Amino acid sequence: MAADDALLLAVEHVRDRITVVRVAGDLTGCAVGRLARLLDRCTAPPSGVVRRRHLVVDLGDVRSFSVAGLQVVRRAAQVCAHASMTLHVTGVASRIGVLPADVGVMLADLGGPDSLEEAVDALSALPAPAPRPVVDARMVPAPRHVRRRRRADLVAEG
């Protein structure tokens, strides 16, 4: 766990395709930048064999929120969508009604199950995606009629 005056961050890889980021403390000020860097690393394209499909951000132990902190989580959700990942936010469903309106609206958009364990169990129950076959187009020659047409086009141009 990385410690700051007001923020604790932890990353754990649960099961095969799930990465959990736990956030505790005050999600305000300079702590927002630390969370942004951590989420960027978690959403980066994988270099290993295991490809993570789900990123779960647990905000259950956050004492105070800032809009900037939640915008970082929202941006991570957009990055995940482009990287064929899904971002899930847990630990906030029961607190939406007692938070300031702007923070509550952002959390309602991002929110998922209130319990981290519920989210991990639900995601673990999902079937693994079928691996896509690796096809190298250079290894497969073009069909003969296509090659003849290309030659005819080259002769006509030349």
Q: Which residues contact 8 (CB under 8 A, 6 or more apart)?
A: 1, 2, 22, 23, 24, 25, 61
Q: pLDDT higher for 25 or 94? A: 25
Closest C-alpha among 2, 62, 81, 12 to residue 34: 2
CATH number at residue 25: 3.30.750.24
pLDDT of residue 1: 46
Please tell me the pTM assigned to this model. 0.70
Q: Using one digit for the tens of pLDDT, what is the confidence trace for 18-35?
A: 889 999 999 887 788 899
pLDDT in tens, 40-83: 888 887 665 556 688 999 988 988 878 888 889 889 988 888 88
Domain count, the chain: 1
Q: DSSP letters of 99-150?
A: S-HHHHHHHHHHB--S-HHHHHHHHHHSPPPPPPPP--GGGSPPPHHHHHHH
Helix, strand, or coil here: 49? coil
What distance in Å separates the CA atoms of residue 138 and residue 3, rounded to the nearest whole number? 50
Q: By residue range, what is the domain housing residue 113?
A: 2-157
User: Which of the two residues, 145 and 41, has the higher pLDDT score?
Assistant: 41
